[in-house]
Structure 1
Amino acid sequence: MKIDPPRPLTAKERAILDLVLSPDFAGAAELRHQSTSAVVVGRCACGCPSVDLRTEDSAPIARPGSRLVPSELEVLPSGDEPPGQVILFTDGGRLSYLEYVWFGEPSTEWPELSRVRVVGP
Protein backbone atom coordinates (compact mmCIF):
# COMPACT_ATOMS: atom_id res chain seq x y z
CA MET A 1 0.00 0.00 0.00
CA LYS A 2 1.67 3.19 -1.22
CA ILE A 3 2.12 6.16 1.14
CA ASP A 4 2.04 9.51 -0.63
CA PRO A 5 3.67 11.71 0.38
CA PRO A 6 6.45 9.62 1.97
CA ARG A 7 6.74 9.98 5.73
CA PRO A 8 9.66 9.84 8.16
CA LEU A 9 10.24 6.64 10.09
CA THR A 10 8.54 6.50 13.47
CA ALA A 11 10.75 6.26 16.55
CA LYS A 12 10.00 2.51 16.79
CA GLU A 13 10.76 1.91 13.09
CA ARG A 14 14.03 3.85 13.45
CA ALA A 15 15.05 1.84 16.54
CA ILE A 16 14.23 -1.49 14.83
CA LEU A 17 16.13 -0.50 11.67
CA ASP A 18 19.14 0.66 13.69
CA LEU A 19 19.22 -2.66 15.56
CA VAL A 20 19.09 -4.72 12.37
CA LEU A 21 21.99 -2.66 10.99
CA SER A 22 24.06 -2.76 14.20
CA PRO A 23 26.29 -5.78 13.39
CA ASP A 24 29.20 -5.45 10.99
CA PHE A 25 28.77 -7.19 7.62
CA ALA A 26 29.59 -6.42 3.99
CA GLY A 27 27.67 -3.27 3.06
CA ALA A 28 26.66 -2.38 6.64
CA ALA A 29 28.37 1.03 6.62
CA GLU A 30 26.64 2.04 3.40
CA LEU A 31 23.25 0.81 4.63
CA ARG A 32 23.70 2.70 7.92
CA HIS A 33 24.45 5.84 5.90
CA GLN A 34 21.34 5.24 3.78
CA SER A 35 19.23 4.74 6.90
CA THR A 36 19.80 8.34 7.97
CA SER A 37 17.73 9.54 5.00
CA ALA A 38 15.29 6.61 4.80
CA VAL A 39 11.60 7.41 4.50
CA VAL A 40 8.54 5.19 4.43
CA VAL A 41 6.89 4.99 1.01
CA GLY A 42 4.55 2.06 1.59
CA ARG A 43 3.04 -0.39 4.07
CA CYS A 44 2.07 -4.00 3.87
CA ALA A 45 -1.58 -4.37 2.86
CA CYS A 46 -2.21 -7.10 5.48
CA GLY A 47 -2.08 -4.57 8.33
CA CYS A 48 1.24 -5.67 9.84
CA PRO A 49 3.83 -2.94 10.53
CA SER A 50 6.17 -3.92 7.65
CA VAL A 51 7.21 -0.92 5.54
CA ASP A 52 8.67 -0.10 2.14
CA LEU A 53 11.66 2.22 2.38
CA ARG A 54 13.32 4.72 0.07
CA THR A 55 16.65 6.46 0.54
CA GLU A 56 18.33 9.46 -1.06
CA ASP A 57 19.82 8.74 -4.46
CA SER A 58 23.08 10.37 -3.35
CA ALA A 59 23.60 7.84 -0.53
CA PRO A 60 26.33 5.24 -1.18
CA ILE A 61 25.26 1.92 -2.68
CA ALA A 62 25.78 -1.19 -0.54
CA ARG A 63 26.97 -4.54 -1.83
CA PRO A 64 25.69 -6.93 0.85
CA GLY A 65 25.84 -9.90 -1.54
CA SER A 66 22.13 -10.69 -1.37
CA ARG A 67 18.80 -8.85 -1.26
CA LEU A 68 18.33 -10.17 2.29
CA VAL A 69 20.55 -8.34 4.78
CA PRO A 70 22.57 -10.93 6.76
CA SER A 71 21.52 -9.46 10.10
CA GLU A 72 18.03 -9.90 11.56
CA LEU A 73 16.13 -9.62 14.81
CA GLU A 74 14.66 -12.55 16.68
CA VAL A 75 11.43 -11.56 18.40
CA LEU A 76 11.11 -13.45 21.66
CA PRO A 77 7.64 -14.82 22.40
CA SER A 78 5.36 -13.19 24.90
CA GLY A 79 3.18 -15.59 26.82
CA ASP A 80 2.02 -18.42 24.59
CA GLU A 81 2.58 -16.65 21.28
CA PRO A 82 5.22 -18.01 18.90
CA PRO A 83 8.48 -16.16 18.22
CA GLY A 84 8.91 -13.85 15.24
CA GLN A 85 11.62 -12.21 13.16
CA VAL A 86 12.44 -8.83 11.68
CA ILE A 87 14.27 -9.00 8.38
CA LEU A 88 15.55 -6.30 6.05
CA PHE A 89 15.76 -6.30 2.26
CA THR A 90 17.72 -4.22 -0.21
CA ASP A 91 17.06 -3.56 -3.85
CA GLY A 92 19.97 -2.54 -6.04
CA GLY A 93 22.10 -1.99 -2.94
CA ARG A 94 19.55 0.33 -1.31
CA LEU A 95 17.30 -0.25 1.70
CA SER A 96 13.90 -1.33 0.41
CA TYR A 97 11.75 -3.31 2.88
CA LEU A 98 11.69 -3.77 6.66
CA GLU A 99 9.54 -6.79 7.42
CA TYR A 100 8.05 -8.17 10.62
CA VAL A 101 7.62 -11.93 10.15
CA TRP A 102 5.32 -13.66 12.60
CA PHE A 103 4.43 -17.31 13.09
CA GLY A 104 1.02 -16.93 14.71
CA GLU A 105 -1.56 -14.18 14.72
CA PRO A 106 -0.35 -11.18 12.71
CA SER A 107 0.84 -8.21 14.70
CA THR A 108 -0.12 -4.65 13.85
CA GLU A 109 2.72 -3.16 15.91
CA TRP A 110 6.50 -3.50 15.94
CA PRO A 111 7.72 -5.57 18.91
CA GLU A 112 8.99 -3.90 22.05
CA LEU A 113 12.77 -3.56 21.96
CA SER A 114 13.01 -5.54 25.19
CA ARG A 115 11.69 -8.56 23.24
CA VAL A 116 14.21 -8.51 20.38
CA ARG A 117 17.64 -10.01 19.99
CA VAL A 118 20.05 -9.24 17.16
CA VAL A 119 21.06 -12.30 15.15
CA GLY A 120 23.80 -11.57 12.68
CA PRO A 121 26.92 -12.66 10.98
Structure 2
Amino acid sequence: MGRELTERERDVMRYMLDAAVPLEGDEPVSRQIRQRLRQDLHSARAGERCACGDCPSIVIEDQDGITPETGQRVVLSAAAPNASVLLFIDGGRLSYLELAPHDDEPVHEFPPVAHLSVN
Protein backbone atom coordinates (compact mmCIF):
# COMPACT_ATOMS: atom_id res chain seq x y z
CA MET A 1 0.00 0.00 0.00
CA GLY A 2 1.13 3.53 -0.76
CA ARG A 3 2.36 6.30 1.49
CA GLU A 4 0.38 8.63 3.73
CA LEU A 5 -1.15 11.58 1.92
CA THR A 6 0.51 14.90 2.66
CA GLU A 7 -1.55 17.48 4.48
CA ARG A 8 -1.68 19.54 1.27
CA GLU A 9 -2.89 16.57 -0.82
CA ARG A 10 -5.59 15.79 1.73
CA ASP A 11 -6.65 19.47 1.90
CA VAL A 12 -6.87 19.71 -1.89
CA MET A 13 -8.98 16.56 -2.11
CA ARG A 14 -11.26 17.81 0.67
CA TYR A 15 -11.69 21.10 -1.23
CA MET A 16 -12.41 19.22 -4.45
CA LEU A 17 -15.08 17.11 -2.76
CA ASP A 18 -16.65 20.17 -1.14
CA ALA A 19 -16.57 22.66 -4.02
CA ALA A 20 -15.30 21.34 -7.36
CA VAL A 21 -17.65 20.81 -10.28
CA PRO A 22 -17.83 17.86 -12.68
CA LEU A 23 -16.31 18.30 -16.12
CA GLU A 24 -18.82 19.12 -18.85
CA GLY A 25 -20.74 15.99 -19.77
CA ASP A 26 -20.00 14.19 -16.48
CA GLU A 27 -22.81 13.30 -14.11
CA PRO A 28 -23.31 15.47 -11.01
CA VAL A 29 -22.01 14.07 -7.73
CA SER A 30 -24.64 14.08 -5.00
CA ARG A 31 -24.02 15.54 -1.57
CA GLN A 32 -24.33 12.04 -0.04
CA ILE A 33 -21.63 10.62 -2.33
CA ARG A 34 -19.37 13.61 -1.66
CA GLN A 35 -19.81 13.07 2.09
CA ARG A 36 -18.99 9.35 1.79
CA LEU A 37 -15.90 10.10 -0.31
CA ARG A 38 -14.86 12.72 2.24
CA GLN A 39 -15.00 10.01 4.92
CA ASP A 40 -12.93 7.76 2.65
CA LEU A 41 -10.16 10.38 2.81
CA HIS A 42 -9.36 9.19 6.34
CA SER A 43 -8.00 5.91 4.99
CA ALA A 44 -6.90 7.10 1.55
CA ARG A 45 -3.23 6.79 0.65
CA ALA A 46 -1.04 8.08 -2.14
CA GLY A 47 -0.06 5.47 -4.69
CA GLU A 48 2.21 5.92 -7.68
CA ARG A 49 3.19 9.40 -8.72
CA CYS A 50 2.79 10.55 -12.33
CA ALA A 51 5.64 9.30 -14.48
CA CYS A 52 6.18 12.71 -16.14
CA GLY A 53 8.22 13.92 -13.15
CA ASP A 54 6.99 17.49 -13.71
CA CYS A 55 3.77 17.38 -11.69
CA PRO A 56 2.55 16.13 -8.30
CA SER A 57 -0.29 13.98 -9.70
CA ILE A 58 -0.92 10.76 -7.74
CA VAL A 59 -2.93 7.56 -7.82
CA ILE A 60 -5.23 7.34 -4.81
CA GLU A 61 -5.47 4.02 -2.98
CA ASP A 62 -8.02 2.92 -0.42
CA GLN A 63 -8.41 -0.12 1.83
CA ASP A 64 -9.14 -2.20 -1.30
CA GLY A 65 -6.02 -0.97 -3.09
CA ILE A 66 -5.88 0.86 -6.41
CA THR A 67 -9.25 1.73 -7.93
CA PRO A 68 -9.73 -0.01 -11.26
CA GLU A 69 -10.80 2.23 -14.13
CA THR A 70 -14.19 0.56 -14.36
CA GLY A 71 -17.69 1.75 -13.71
CA GLN A 72 -18.85 5.30 -14.15
CA ARG A 73 -16.08 7.92 -14.17
CA VAL A 74 -16.67 11.43 -12.91
CA VAL A 75 -13.95 14.06 -12.90
CA LEU A 76 -14.26 17.03 -10.55
CA SER A 77 -12.44 20.16 -11.71
CA ALA A 78 -11.04 23.29 -10.09
CA ALA A 79 -8.69 26.02 -11.28
CA ALA A 80 -5.32 26.95 -9.84
CA PRO A 81 -2.94 29.64 -11.08
CA ASN A 82 -1.63 28.35 -14.43
CA ALA A 83 -3.07 24.84 -13.87
CA SER A 84 -6.17 22.73 -13.54
CA VAL A 85 -6.74 20.38 -10.63
CA LEU A 86 -8.75 17.24 -11.37
CA LEU A 87 -10.09 14.62 -8.97
CA PHE A 88 -11.07 11.35 -10.67
CA ILE A 89 -13.81 9.19 -9.18
CA ASP A 90 -14.17 5.74 -10.75
CA GLY A 91 -17.04 3.47 -9.82
CA GLY A 92 -17.78 5.59 -6.76
CA ARG A 93 -14.18 5.45 -5.44
CA LEU A 94 -11.44 8.08 -5.37
CA SER A 95 -8.87 7.10 -7.97
CA TYR A 96 -6.54 9.91 -9.12
CA LEU A 97 -5.59 13.47 -8.16
CA GLU A 98 -4.10 15.40 -11.05
CA LEU A 99 -2.50 18.78 -11.45
CA ALA A 100 -2.36 19.70 -15.14
CA PRO A 101 -0.11 22.73 -15.74
CA HIS A 102 -1.24 25.13 -18.47
CA ASP A 103 2.32 25.80 -19.62
CA ASP A 104 5.64 23.95 -19.82
CA GLU A 105 6.84 24.95 -16.35
CA PRO A 106 7.07 22.02 -13.92
CA VAL A 107 4.89 22.21 -10.80
CA HIS A 108 6.07 19.86 -8.07
CA GLU A 109 3.35 20.28 -5.45
CA PHE A 110 -0.33 21.03 -5.32
CA PRO A 111 -1.21 24.67 -4.62
CA PRO A 112 -2.66 25.73 -1.28
CA VAL A 113 -6.44 25.50 -1.17
CA ALA A 114 -6.63 29.31 -0.91
CA HIS A 115 -5.33 29.43 -4.51
CA LEU A 116 -8.04 27.15 -5.90
CA SER A 117 -11.32 28.26 -7.44
CA VAL A 118 -14.21 26.64 -9.27
CA ASN A 119 -15.41 27.73 -12.68
TM-score range, shorter-chain basis? 0.7 to 0.9
Residues 18-58 of structure 1: CA deviation (Å, up to 9, x unaligned)? 1001139322122112112100111001121000001124x
C-alpha change, 1:66 and 1:85, in structure 2 (3 Å) is: farther
Q: Which TM-score applies when normalising by structure 2?
A: 0.73
- The question of whether the paired residues in 1 share the 8 Å contact of 2:74 and 2:90 is answered with no
Q: Provide structure 1 residue ranges, at least 5 long, that are not aligned to the other structure.
A: 58-64, 77-82
2:56 corresponds, among 44, 49, 54, to: 49
TM superposition outliers: structure 1 runs of 4+ over 4 Å: none
User: Shift of residue 66 of structure 1?
Assistant: 4.5
Match of 1:117 in 2: 117
Bigger-Rg structure (1/2): 1
Residue 45 of structure 1 aligns to a residue whose secondary structure is: coil
2:91 corresponding residue in structure 1: 92
Q: Is the 8 A contact 2:72 2:91 kept in 1?
A: no
CA distance in 2, matches of 1:9, 1:36: 10
Matched, 1:15 2:22: no
> Higher helix share goes to which structure?
2
User: Residues 19-38 of structure 1: matches in 2 within 5 Å?
Assistant: 19-23=15-19, 25-26=29-30, 27-38=33-44
Which one-letter code corresponds to 1:115 in the other structure? H
User: Is 1:74–1:85's contact at 8 Å kept on the other side of the alignment?
Assistant: yes
> Compared with structure 1, are the counterparts of its residues 112 and 23 closer, same or farther at alpha carbon in structure 2 (3 Å cutoff)?
closer
Counting matched residue pairs gives 101
How far off its partner does 1:68 sit?
2.5
Q: Given the two structures, how large is their TM-score scaled by the length of structure 1?
A: 0.72
Q: Which residue number in structure 2 is paired with residue 75 of structure 1?
A: 80
Contact 1:49 1:110 in 2 (8 A): yes
Residue pair 2:15, 2:113 contacting (<8 A) in 1 also: no
Residue 60 of structure 1 aligns with which residue?
none
